Amino acid sequence: MIELKQSRNQFPREPIRLMSRVYKFILPDVRQELNGWRKEAGLIPDPELRRQALASIETKEFHCQGGAVYAAANLPKRHILIPLIVAFQTISDYLDNLCDRSTSMDEGDFRLLHQSMLDAIDPQAELTDYYALREEREDGGYLHRLVLTCQDRIRELPGYHAAQPFVAELVQLYTDLQVYKHIDPSLREAALLSWWELHQSRAPQLKWNEFAAATGSTLGVFMLFLSASDEHLSETSAQKIQDAYFPYVCGVHIMLDYLIDQAEDEIGGDLNFCSYYDNKETMLQRIVFMVDEARRDVAVLPASSFHVMIIEGLLALYLSDPKVSEQQEIRGVSRQLMRRSSLMRLFFFVNSRWIRKRLK
């Protein structure tokens, strides 16, 4: 059995208790953290870097809110976990904006930018000039402060030595994906396929686009951060946690994200992994398969009901997004995914809509 001795009894085991903690503790703390980073972003000297930093916070706040739900499983350590999760996710969202809307298609530039994420999860790493290969460089220390915040909070996690190798593996995969998906469109699919061939033994039941999607999730990293708040965490337990989250929980997360972003990505010319299915029926079947596998994988974890709530919450969060109602084909897929939904999923669906209204 996986050891999480100190925090096991703190896991919320039913939706009402989880959402009570989210409303009382998680959402206010996330808002406070993001307000601080919003002020920092507003002081960035370079206008393009400032614009992308502010946009990443304004349009992707729900990423930080969703990630910070893991802190609900260890409220006494939320003063560590929430600043860590928010800072790390803010780096991810900021760099995604920079690369999506970049004038550069330089693989070296994208890899150097994302070195900041690898440094952020290594408390011994030294900072470098992450903008050295691009024209826009003057951020007033914004990215460095985000990295240092992550490093400082990680030093306060008593079990991080056991989790670090598995966090690093997931972040390296995430970095690789971000590099390959943002290079010249004429090169990116071949690069992604070559990369998948190196890793397909890890997820033989997944297609290349599904594996790539799974590497784009930060949920496995956040679960390992939570696990590292337990001083008794062992490497064996950390490995089992990683295996329970990657690839299926992570894959469900990002496939749902791509599902609702199809129209937006088509307009922006951005890569979308849902576009590689022959038809919507196949896409639906594959997402349902991944949901089923994700539920099976998390069953081995202590307080498995918490992780089931994460999966159901993902479905509710994305399928309640206003983007769904704006896309006729996606509305049909959404209705089928929500058909015969459990009361838990419907509960999270209602709460997701309520939280979005509060953000407006």
Q: Dump pLDDT digits (tens) for 71-125.
A: 999 999 999 999 999 999 999 999 999 998 766 788 999 999 999 999 999 999 9
Contact criterion met (CB below 8 Å) for 46 and 137: yes
pLDDT tens digits along 200-241: 999 999 999 999 999 999 999 999 999 999 999 999 999 999
In whole angstroms, what is the distance from residue 310 CA to residue 308 CA? Answer: 5
Q: Which of 279, 286, 196, 277 is nearest to 248 (CA)?
A: 286
Query: Average pLDDT, stretch 158-168?
Result: 98
For every residue of the chain, which 3-state class applies, written as one string?
CCCCCCCHHHCCCCHHHHHHHHHHHHHHHHHHHHHHHHHHHHCCCCHHHHHHHHHHHHHCHHHHHHHHHHHHHCHHHHHHHHHHHHHHHHHHHHHHHHHHCCCCCCHHHHHHHHHHHHHHCCCCCCCCCCCCCCCCCCCCCHHHHHHHHHHHHHCCCCCHHHHHHHHHHHHHHHHHHHHHHHCCHHHHHHHHHHHHHHHHHHCCCCCHHHHHHHHCCCHHHHHHHHHCCCCCCCHHHHHHHHHHHCCHHHHHHHHHHHHHCHHHHHHHCCCCHHHHCCCHHHHHHHHHHHHHHHHHHHCCCCCHHHHHHHHHHHHHHHHCCHHHHCCHHHHHHHHHHHCCCCHHHHHHHHHHHHHHHHHC
The mean pLDDT of the chain is 90
In whole angstroms, what is the distance from residue 258 CA to residue 273 CA? Answer: 7
pLDDT band at 344 (very low <50, low <70, confident <90, very high): confident
Task: Tell me whether the omega of the peptide bond preceding residue 165 falls within 30 degrees of 0, making it cis.
Answer: no
Q: Which of 240, 113, 230 is nearest to 166 (CA)?
A: 240
| Residue 100 CA, distance from chain mean position | 17
The pLDDT value recorded for residue 5 is 47
Cα separation of the two ends of the chain: 43
Share of the chain above pLDDT 70, in %: 89
Q: Which of 174, 155, 287, 257 is nearest to 221 (CA)?
A: 174
Which tokens in the block code for residue 263?
């129209």
pLDDT tens digits along 310-342: 998 888 888 877 676 666 666 666 666 666 556
Other Cβ atoms less than 10 A from the Cβ of 29: the count is 18
pLDDT band at 269 (very low <50, low <70, confident <90, very high): confident
Other Cβ atoms less than 10 A from the Cβ of 105: the count is 15
Of 158-162, 239-243, 260-264, the one with minimum mean pLDDT is: 260-264
Mutual angle of helices 328-338 and 280-298, in 10-degree steps: 40
pLDDT band at 13 (very low <50, low <70, confident <90, very high): confident
Q: Which of 264, 273, 267 is nearest to 216 (CA)?
A: 273
